[in-house]
Structure 1
């Protein structure tokens, strides 16, 4: 398995400007770092997180730097199907569009599966969207066996497997691509959308 560039976002450094991203688990850690990079690149960002206090604090910090209108926090338990979908609706209502869904919350595979389905639904042109990208965050543990953490291994292998399965389907007008996000630092920060390709 290899990762290759295959997207407008990979080739166009201005792709992120004016776009809207939804980041689950966006209040802290990797999700917060991804949200920060997206904001730096010109995206507006909706942070979804179960930790309301930290989420609101992070959102307020981002607003002070990037502007009130570019950041929204939504309290969300991604294991609650109805609440999760309500958040997608609210993001599209608030920003008028959704272009990038980042499934980052560290909850097992089913939440990532639901987030992928919702991303496709709410970005899809057949439901009033503009098309977009679904990005599922996994781990090296989804590629390499770690005997000490079999449950974690299984979860991350599952995330990579479902991402590849979705990416292998013909999405037509529903979704441009399902893939993986790579952030590289050194000589400047940048974001790159890539897709899984079997070798």
Structure 2
């Protein structure tokens, strides 16, 4: 679909070793990009790298494990990418976590953990990427969620932070539109990732009934949207939150 679209481009993907992030990494590489992906765990990053090299041993790809809330580590990461490849064209802020704890039982530590990864990390990653993206007229794609659009009955930190990601996307896009840097977001619906796999079956069934297309999304569905928003086909699109959700809306709830 995007053959050679990203040839010569350098892409950085956080949360790139599994699920949506890994699907995006594979698609960017297949489209000619050089890719650095980040993982939370060394073992998942190593496994992802093995799989990529099996697909194509000539892929130009590197992996790192860093604390995404450590601004010094982030600055060092960008220095390493620039030293290796000389540029940065696309930042995909995909790493995230959730919580299903009811608000009255939610601990402050749990609130802070979700906020740190879902909001603080993309803020820092974008802040230190912008000087490099200005040079290449590059772009940022953030992973939000339909929970950030409509809210959620449980797990307060997740919809709150994802709503924040959407607001951050629109605000930075507004600030940098005249400077040639585009900033957009994708808002996945329910996607068949590890996070969903760990849900009880009754919850999966209940959610599935609310999706008009009658299926959960696939990581590739979201990755395709990420590549589109990063591509020349989206050159006049910024400040958008693109819902990729199979038509899900709260009023789809079964009566």
TM-score (normalised: structure 1): 0.80
Secondary structure of residue in 2 paired with 1:149: coil
* Distance (whole Å) between structure 2 residues aligned to residue 156 and residue 169 of structure 1: 20
Cα displacement (A) at 1:47 = 0.9
Question: Which structure has the greater CA radius of gyration?
Answer: 2
Higher relative contact order (CA 8 A, sep 6+): 1
More strand by percentage:
1
Question: Please, which of 42, 59, 74 is the counterpart of residue 64 of structure 2?
Answer: 74
* Distance (whole Å) between structure 2 residues aligned to residue 113 and residue 62 of structure 1: 28
* Distance (whole Å) between structure 1 residues aligned to residue 240 and residue 25 of structure 2: 26
Secondary structure of residue in 1 paired with 2:228: strand
Cα displacement (A) at 1:70 = 0.8
Question: Residues 49 and 77 of structure 1 are in contact (CA less than 8 Å); yes or no, is this contact kept in structure 2?
Answer: no
Structure 2 regions of 5+ residues with no counterpart?
97-116, 188-218, 230-236, 242-255
Secondary structure of residue in 2 paired with 1:76: coil
Question: Residues 89 and 122 of structure 1 are in contact (CA less than 8 Å); yes or no, is this contact kept in structure 2?
Answer: no
Match of 1:92 in 2: 82
* Distance (whole Å) between structure 1 residues aligned to residue 21 and residue 167 of structure 2: 21
Match of 2:21 in 1: 31
Secondary structure of residue in 2 paired with 1:162: helix
RMSD: 2.3
Secondary structure of residue in 2 paired with 1:169: helix
* Distance (whole Å) between structure 1 residues aligned to residue 36 and residue 56 of structure 2: 13
Match of 1:196 in 2: 239
Match of 1:6 in 2: none
Question: Residues 151 and 160 of structure 2 are in contact (CA less than 8 Å); yes or no, is this contact kept in structure 1?
Answer: no
Structure 1 regions of 5+ residues with no counterpart?
1-11
| Matched pairs, number | 179
Cα displacement (A) at 1:123 = 2.1
Cα displacement (A) at 1:26 = 0.8
Question: Please, which of 146, 170, 184 is the counterpart of residue 152 of structure 2?
Answer: 146
Cα displacement (A) at 1:149 = 2.2
Question: Residues 23 and 220 of structure 2 are in contact (CA less than 8 Å); yes or no, is this contact kept in structure 1?
Answer: no
Question: Please, which of 162, 170, 173 is the counterpart of residue 156 of structure 1?
Answer: 162
Once the two structures are superposed, what CA deviation does each residue of 1:146-199 show, in whole Å capped at 9, x if it has no partner? 1212211111000000110001114544x52111258875xxx6731153359x
Structure 1 segment 97-136 matched on structure 2, within 5 A: 97-106=87-96, 107-125=117-135, 130-136=136-142
Match of 1:61 in 2: 51
Match of 2:99 in 1: none
* Distance (whole Å) between structure 1 residues aligned to residue 155 and residue 173 of structure 2: 27
TM-score (normalised: structure 2): 0.64
Cα displacement (A) at 1:57 = 1.9
Secondary structure of residue in 2 paired with 1:168: helix
* Distance (whole Å) between structure 1 residues aligned to residue 65 and residue 40 of structure 2: 6
Question: Residues 46 and 71 of structure 1 are in contact (CA less than 8 Å); yes or no, is this contact kept in structure 2?
Answer: yes
